[in-house]
Amino acid sequence: MESLYLLIPIAALFVFIAVGIFTWAVKKDQFDDLDREGQRILFEEDDNDKK
């Protein structure tokens, strides 16, 4: 059980890194288009076929 003293702070560290990346992504306009990006992967495939 003593391992919790180490594991919980590590988990907290990960969460803060994740929140940091999320904030950075929002500021870099990654969340600007909530309608399209989810579908982009479906189209990219065609591009590669042609190349």
Partner 1 sequence: MILKPCYHCGEDVPQDLNIQSEIDNNTVDFCCYGCQAIAEFIKGADLSSYYQHRTEKAESALEHDKLDNKFSLIKDPDLYPLYVYIDNDTHHIQMSLKGMTCAACAWLIETRLKQLEGVSSIHINLSTSLATLEWQPDTLDIIEITQEVQKLGYQATPYRADQSDLDIKQSKKTSIIRLGIAGVGMMQVMMSAIAIYAGDMQGMHDNFKQLLGWASFIFATPVVLYSAFPFFKAALRDLKTRHFTMDLPVSLGIGLAYISSVYSMITGTGHVYFDSVTMFTFFLLLGRFLEEAARHKSHSNNRNQQELSSAWLIQDGQATEVPLSKISINDIIAIKSGENIPVDGVITKGNTSVDESSLTGEYLPTNKTLGQSVVAQTINVEQNIEIRVTAIGKQTRAAAIERLTDRALGEKPKIAKIADNVAHYFVILVLLCASATFIGWTLAGSDEAYWIMISVLVVTCPCALSLATPVALTSATNKLKDIGLLVTRGHVIESLARCKHIVFDKTGTLTHGQFEIHQVVSTDKDESLAIASALELGSIHPIAKAFNKHTKHKAKDIRNVTGLGVEGMIDKARYRLGNANFMSDWGYQVDESHFAGLTIYLAKQDEGIIATILLQDRLRPNCQTSIRDLRQDSITVSLLTGDTQDSANAVLDEKEFDHFKYQMSPEDKWHWLNSQSNKSNILMVGDGLNDVPSLAGANTSIAMASSSDLAKIHADAILINSQINTINRAIRLAKKCQRIIKQNLFWAASYNTIMLPAAIMGYVPAWAAAIGMALSSLLVALNASRLSK
Q: Does 3 bind partner 1 (CB under 8 A)?
A: no
Give the Å distances, CA to CA, from 36 to 3, 19, 33, 44, 45: 44, 23, 6, 13, 16
Report the candidate in 38, 27, 5, 6 with the shortest Cα–Cα distance to residue 19: 27
Total number of residues that touch partner 1 (CB under 8 A): 26
Q: Does 51 bind partner 1 (CB under 8 A)?
A: no
The residues that touch partner 1, with contacts defined as CB under 8 A, are 1, 4-5, 8, 11-12, 15, 18-19, 22-23, 26-27, 31-36, 39-40, 42-43, 46-47, 50
